[in-house]
């Protein structure tokens, strides 16, 4: 997968977050994730050997779009891109990272929470703003945000699962993320790959159902 395919991400709007994975577990976890239907994932830079893991994942799994998470400086942004990262994610907005992404045409998902932070992140060139931690605010917060910010694309990160996915999308989220609840360090280290694949399949099924309904509704509105 060359570069970041935004059209595909909008069709499969799920970002996987790998934090604390080790080199020995990488292949098994990625095979499980790929079989489960995931296509976009980040490896956080506070993971040991993160740059090596990004390089290996990018080279060995070309069907994945691999990015770097927890990118807190322009220097680490450069190292991540050099290692093969196709997009950058952070829990916050760093203006130097934002500038790096603008200059190098790199997809950037900075984190924000308050309306002021969200608008600033979007104005800095974010491809989508990562609302984190979403679980602390709930789906209704997205609905409220989309009132004044109907032009800003929001990603729900933190506490998202098959049970509340419909609520986040119906409230205005453009994408969601899955992380530690599925990719827990102990589960990855213990090679519980079938469990990881099964839970990703359940997550993706819930998202695909929602996205299919949205597409059908948009088509009906367009033809009516």
The token duo for 32 is: 């499980």
**Structural domain boundaries of the chain?**
6-223
Q: Is 209 part of the annotated catalytic residue set?
A: no
User: CA 93, CA 129: separation in Å to the nearest integer?
Assistant: 9
- From 42, 55, 86, 192, active-site residue: 42
Q: For position 174, what pLDDT does the model report?
A: 96
Flag whether the pTM goes above 0.85: yes
With 0-12 / 13-18 / 19 or more C-beta atoms within 10 angstroms meaning exposed / middle / buried, residue 37 is middle
pLDDT for 214 equals: 59
Which CATH number describes the domain made up of 6-223? 3.20.20.70
How would you class 101 by CB atoms within 10 Å of its CB: exposed for 0-12, middle for 13-18, buried for 19 or more?
buried
Interatomic CA distance for residues 61 and 205, integer angstroms = 22
Taking only the tens place, the pLDDT of each residue in 159-179 is 999 999 999 999 999 999 999
Task: Indicate if 96 belongs to the active site.
Answer: no
| pLDDT, tens digit (0-9, with 9 covering 90-100), for 65-111 | 999 999 999 999 999 999 999 999 999 999 999 999 999 999 999 99
Selected catalytic residue, list 55, 56, 86, 130: 130
What pLDDT does residue 211 have? Answer: 80
Residue 218 confidence (pLDDT) above 60: no
Residues 6+ apart with CB under 8 A from 178: 14, 15, 16, 17, 38, 160, 161, 200, 203
**What pairing do the DSSP bridges indicate for beta strands 107-109 and 87-89?**
parallel
Measured CA to CA, the distance from residue 40 to residue 16 in angstroms comes to 6
């Amino acid at each position: 997968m060359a570069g970041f395919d935004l059209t595909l991400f909008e069709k499969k709007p799920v970002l996987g977050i790998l934090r604390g994975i080790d080199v020995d577990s990488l292949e098994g976890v990625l095979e499980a994730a790929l079989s489960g239907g995931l296509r976009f994932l980040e490896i956080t830079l506070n993971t040991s050997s993160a740059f090596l893991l990004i390089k290996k994942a990018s080279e060995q799994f070309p069907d994945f779009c691999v990015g770097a998470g927890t990118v807190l400086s322009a220097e680490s942004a450069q190292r991540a891109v050099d290692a093969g990262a196709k997009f950058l994610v952070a829990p916050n907005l760093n203006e130097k990272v934002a500038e790096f992404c603008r200059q190098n045409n790199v997809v950037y998902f900075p984190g924000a929470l308050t309306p002021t932070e969200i608008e600033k992140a979007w104005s800095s060139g974010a491809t989508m703003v990562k609302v984190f931690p979403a679980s602390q605010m709930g789906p209704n917060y997205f609905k409220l945000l989309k009132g004044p910010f109907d032009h800003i694309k929001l990603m729900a990160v933190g506490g998202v699962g098959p049970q509340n996915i419909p609520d986040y999308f119906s409230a205005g989220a453009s994408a969601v993320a899955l992380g530690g609840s599925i990719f827990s360090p102990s589960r990855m280290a213990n090679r519980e790959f079938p469990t990881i694949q099964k839970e990703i399949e359940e997550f993706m099924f819930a998202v695909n159902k929602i996205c299919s309904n949205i597409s059908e509704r948009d088509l009906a509105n367009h033809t009516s």
